[in-house]
Structure 1
Amino acid sequence: MFWLIRAKRWAKHPPSTKRIIFVFGIVAACVVLYLIERAGLLPEWMQLEGRGGMRF
């Protein structure tokens, strides 16, 4: 039900063009980083050291 109120608010006062471009830019940067990581092209300093789970 809350999403209907939010949708009404967005319809009356849509976000600015700058904000939309900003959000899509962040999403695009995340997608590019994900694709580079999946391709194995990340430099060694950006890699995690351990892939195992936590041990107690």
Structure 2
Amino acid sequence: MEPRWLFRMSRWARNPPSPARVKLVFAIIALALAIGAIEWLGYWPDWATAERIRPRF
């Protein structure tokens, strides 16, 4: 483990994030999981899917 992460963890232990920040992070994670589940189940619309474009040389 890198020392940088140890310093960050010690800083978080001394000054934990606010409950509002924790709720925000969990809401973003839940939204990302919901979008992933919708796409995995096949309900993602075709207009929102990116198409790969071949580069012209």
TM-score tier (shorter): 0.7 to 0.9
Deviating beyond 4 angstroms after TM superposition, the runs of 4 or more aligned structure 1 residues are none
Gaps of 5+ in 2: none
What's the CA shift for 1:53? Answer: 6.3
How many residue pairs get matched? 54
CA RMSD in angstroms, aligned pairs only: 1.5
Report SS of the residue matched to 1:32: helix
TM-score when normalising by structure 2: 0.80
CA distance in 1, matches of 2:39, 2:29: 15
Gaps of 5+ in 1: none
CA distance in 2, matches of 1:47, 1:53: 13
Q: Which residue is 2:37 aligned to?
A: 35
Residue among 2, 6, 9 paired with 1:7:
9
TM-score when normalising by structure 1: 0.81
